[in-house]
Amino acid sequence: MQITLTRPDDWHVHLRDGQALATTVPHTARQFARAIVMPNLRPPVTTVALAAEYRARIVAHLPRDTRFEALMTLYLTDGTPPEEIRRAADSGFVHAVKLYPAGATTHSDAGVTDLQRCAATLDAMAELGVPLLVHGEVTDPEVDVFDRESVFIERILQPLLSRHPGLRVVLEHITTSDAVDFVAACGPEVAATITAHHLLYNRNAIFAGGVRAHYYCLPVLKRESHRRALLRAASSGSPKFFLGTDSAPHARKTKEAACGCAGCYTAYAALELYAEAFASVTALDRLEAFASFHGADFYRLPRNTDQVTIERSDWQAPESYDYLATESLVPLRAGEWLRWKMLG
């Protein structure tokens, strides 16, 4: 069986920088026409000028004859001035601003400590229609790690939306039925991305026979009832839910460690993993809208016009990819079987 669909876009990816781009850029550009590129580098991408330089480094790693557009984002800090938002809106290549609560995840120490400090900047975003992309987890160590998303919605996101009506928000990589329900109940200015790994796995995957570092990401995988709710949302046909892989590479030794990094690498077979998830609920006919239409519509960008074809055939994922010159990168499903294969 083969399925041909409009070429998809990835509305949330970590490409990293330097030599990492030699691995990540070809993988993402092979599947996707465009990708929203996360700004959590060290130091973070906090200005339009830094985003322009980062974009040039990405473009330099594009394989010959590959058409791919890196949609850049800025990393919001307590000190991001409203003028930077104006520059972003005028740039034509910065498409969103990312909120990392300080300390929530990988490279988030420069993140926002108190959103009230960003009020004028958020007003400028609402006025200019620049979306705020939200890592939706509280950082309060008292809050159970499995509850951090739902507590964030209640304590931070709901009040934020009340303070800034009209602000366009994407709640990124949602993991709970609470997030699904919240986003579904909001107006059209609020949407969400969903990863392939949160559609395919529940939290048992992290502990199957021992600690499985490569299934550890943030927000952490949740229980089965939440996975089911995500699958229903992704395949519902609602334009509020769209594809964002959150593919987040880390060198093998930094994941397989006493204190391992959070992040799953899925970009090498992203569409195949999503196809498997949609097939599991006999919703392959809904994959194209989720992967190729809803995100473009939300970002007010044209839908892609070329196509990709995936085929139902088993193939074995590589054990690892070369990474950062001397490191290796273990993809999600390493050495295991994938059920769909993208042609070309």
From the list ligand NCD, Zn ion, none, partner contacted by residue 124 (C-beta under 5 to 8 A by kind): none
Is 245 a residue that touches ligand NCD (CB under 6 A)? Answer: no
The three-class DSSP label of residue 180 is helix
CB of 69 to Zn ion, least distance (A): 19
Q: Which residue's CB is nearer to ligand NCD, number 126 or number 156?
A: 156
Q: Which helix (H) or strand (E) element contains residue 182? A: helix 177-185
Is 198 a residue that touches ligand NCD (CB under 6 A)? Answer: no
Judged by CB under 5 A, the number of residues near Zn ion is: 1
From the list ligand NCD, Zn ion, none, partner contacted by residue 238 (C-beta under 5 to 8 A by kind): none
Which phi and psi angles does 241 have, rounded to 5°? -115, 130
DSSP state for residue 196 in the 8-state scheme: H
Q: What six digits make up the tokens of 65?
A: 């004859």
DSSP state for residue 155 in the 8-state scheme: I
Q: Which residue's CB is nearer to ligand NCD, number 247 or number 292?
A: 247
Lateral strand order in the sheet of 307-316: 2-6, 307-316, 337-342
Buried b (16+ CB within 10 A) or exposed e, 71-91: bbbbbbbeebebebbebbbeb
Q: Which helix (H) or strand (E) element contains residue 243? A: strand 241-243
* Footprint of ligand NCD on 25-84 (CB under 6 A): 40
DSSP state for residue 130 in the 8-state scheme: P
Q: What six digits make up the tokens of 94?
A: 């910065």
- d(C-alpha 286, C-alpha 317), whole Å: 25
Q: Which residue's CB is nearer to ligand NCD, number 7 or number 214?
A: 214
Q: Which of 78, 246, 285, 306 is catalytic?
A: 246
Judged by CB under 6 A, the number of residues near ligand NCD is: 11
CB of 217 to ligand NCD, least distance (A): 4
The three-class DSSP label of residue 329 is strand
Q: Nearest to residue 13, comparing CAs of 5, 33, 3, 4?
A: 33
Residue 178 known to be catalytic: no
CB of 244 to Zn ion, least distance (A): 8
Q: Which residue's CB is nearer to ligand NCD, number 6 or number 105?
A: 105
Mask 267-306, x = binds ligand NCD (CB under 6 A)?
Answer: ----------------------------------------
Which of 246, 272, 276, 327 is the binder for ligand NCD (CB under 6 A)?
Answer: 246
Q: What six digits make up the tokens of 10?
A: 């990835």
Q: Which residue's CB is nearer to Zn ion, number 8 or number 136?
A: 136
- d(C-alpha 22, C-alpha 27), whole Å: 9
Q: 325: phi > 0 → left, psi -120 to 50 → alpha, else beta; which? A: left
Neighbours of 260 (CB within 10 A): 15
From the list ligand NCD, Zn ion, none, partner contacted by residue 177 (C-beta under 5 to 8 A by kind): none
Which of 262, 301, 324, 342 is the binder for ligand NCD (CB under 6 A)?
Answer: 262
- The stretch among 140-148, 190-198, 246-254, 335-343 that binds Zn ion (CB under 5 A) is 246-254
Q: Which residues contact 306 (CB under 8 A, 6 or more apart)?
A: 6, 7, 33
* Footprint of ligand NCD on 118-157 (CB under 6 A): 135
Q: Which residue's CB is nearer to ligand NCD, number 31 or number 105?
A: 105
Which of 96, 97, 194, 248 is the binder for ligand NCD (CB under 6 A)?
Answer: 248
Residue in the shown chain whose Cβ atom is closest to Zn ion = 246
Is 246 a residue that touches Zn ion (CB under 5 A)? Answer: yes
Rg, C-alpha atoms of the chain: 19
* Residues classed as catalytic: 246
Q: Which residues contribute to the site for ligand NCD (CB under 6 A)?
A: 14, 40, 105-106, 135, 217-218, 246, 248, 262-263
Q: Which residues contribute to the site for Zn ion (CB under 5 A)?
A: 246
